[in-house]
Amino acid sequence: MFFRWFKTILRADRLISLSPNGLTLVIYCGLIASLLITLWTGRKPTKRTYEMICLYLLGWASAEEVEAHVATLQSSDD
């Protein structure tokens, strides 16, 4: 279940290289991203949350759009 979640939600199915260092880098980056999303939203990461953060980092979404998405996640917990 962990590896399925890791590959689908965090899109860690694309390796940077075939060396052990490349695999280690993908795993660490995925876990750090997951932990940061969990700390920020208070929920486990979803595909939509990950996509919103990626769009923001690419410059295609504004900070307000990301904050609105996070607010909807936090309001659904209540």
Residue 77: band (very low, low, confident or very high) from pLDDT cuts 50, 70, 90: low
Mean pLDDT calculated for residue range 21-43? 82
3-state secondary structure of 57: helix
Question: CA 20, CA 8: separation in Å to the nearest integer?
Answer: 21
Q: What CA–CA distance (Å, rounded) separates 24 from 45?
A: 21
Least confident of 2-11, 50-59, 67-76: 2-11
Task: Supply the pTM of this predicted model.
Answer: 0.63
Burial of 53 from C-beta contacts in 10 A (0-12 / 13-18 / 19+)? buried
